Amino acid sequence: MHPVLKLITQRVALGVVLLFAASVLIFVGTTILPGDVAQSILGQSATPQSLANLRAELGLNDPPVARYFAWLGDVLQGDLGTALTNGRDIAESLGGRLKNTMFLAFWAAVISVPLAIFLGLLAVRFRDRWPDKLISAITLTSISIPEFLIGYVLMFFVGVKLGWAPSAALINDTMSLGQKLNTIALPVAVLTLVVLAHMMRMTRAAILNVMQSAYIETAELKGLSIFEVIRRHAFPNAIAPIVNVVMLNLAYLVVGVVVIEVVFTYPGMGQYLVDHVSKRDVPVVQACGLIFAAVYIVLNMIADIVSILANPRLRHPK
């Protein structure tokens, strides 16, 4: 088997194993949560008989291993279960929520990824000069401040005081694309500031590492400008670590939006998860956790595969 194909197969197999392990952790974590699911559904005034009947109906009296494999079997068939609090199908409820979360993450990525790479290249071009120091200072400041604080500050000044964008990011399917983009402007700005520093600094570090190579010095001696050296030689050879950090931050944009969605009351998966955690709706928590884990694992697997494909020694073995 070709080395590249072999490594890709190994990465895919590892991703499947990790997803299985994540499903076990999610199920165990929700199972050992304190409190009684039946009690939280029926309330404190429920009779012992009604509680016993509901536990039997929900299968809470079955062994945990049997419940896990029953849940996993349903998930593999596309059945995420039914919400305990309202009796609605979880997959149906999550459809629109997942679309909203992906919409928010997509536009944050569209802005943050090119901007981070551009700022990283700019920092390399003016290394140890004032543009480099200014970019590093701004990005480090943004990453040092909690995202919820950035959100509330932007909400107060930009949303309330200046009125440039809505404070609450309440989107719906009846809005046009322009209306949706205006509505999500503030959460997108916060997400961009949060992930920008990681990607910019990794881009800068990866290119600077390549710039120490002998072939870069040869290119400079041939009379190429610094921009040409970076564009034609340094950046292509630094693409693997850059892709890795970009994918990690894209995973964060999907998985880590819970705080942002709560701050801006955005109707995404994070808000849906928080609402049902407070109600101890275990099937919903399990479904959201599994989807978040799958997104994170798949994006990291893609990053590994891109890194493999970007390695010329693997693409062209002797």
Give residue-wise pLDDT tens across range 296-305.
Answer: 888 888 888 8
Name the pLDDT band for 156 (thresholds 50, 70, 90).
confident
- Taking only the tens place, the pLDDT of each residue in 63-97 is 778 888 888 888 888 888 788 777 788 888 888 88
Q: How far is CA 107 from CA 3, 47, 111, 192, 294, in A?
A: 36, 50, 6, 9, 21
- Which residues are CB-neighbours of 24 under 8 A, at least 6 positions away? 68
Average pLDDT over residues 209-213: 75
Buried-state track 49-86, b at ≥16 Cβ within 10 A, e below 16: eebeebbeebebeeeeeebbeebeeebeeeebbbbbee
Taking only Cα atoms into account, the Rg of the chain, rounded to an integer number of angstroms, comes to 24
**Cβ atoms 75, 24 nearer than 8 A:** no
Q: Please write the tens of the pLDDT for every residue from 7-66.
A: 888 888 998 999 999 999 988 887 776 666 666 666 666 677 776 776 776 666 677 788
Full set of structural domains in the chain with CATH:
96-279 (1.10.3720.10)
Q: How far is CA 146 from CA 73, 86, 124, 153, in A?
A: 39, 34, 27, 11
> For residues 261 and 170, what is the distance between their CA atoms, to the nearest angstrom?
10
- Determine which of 14-28, 81-95, 168-182, 225-239 has the lowest per-residue pLDDT on average: 225-239
Q: Residues 240-268, buried b or exposed e (16+ Cβ, 10 A)?
A: bbbbbbbbbbbbbbbbbbbbbbbbbebbb
- Distance between CA 186 and CA 195 in Å, rounded? 15
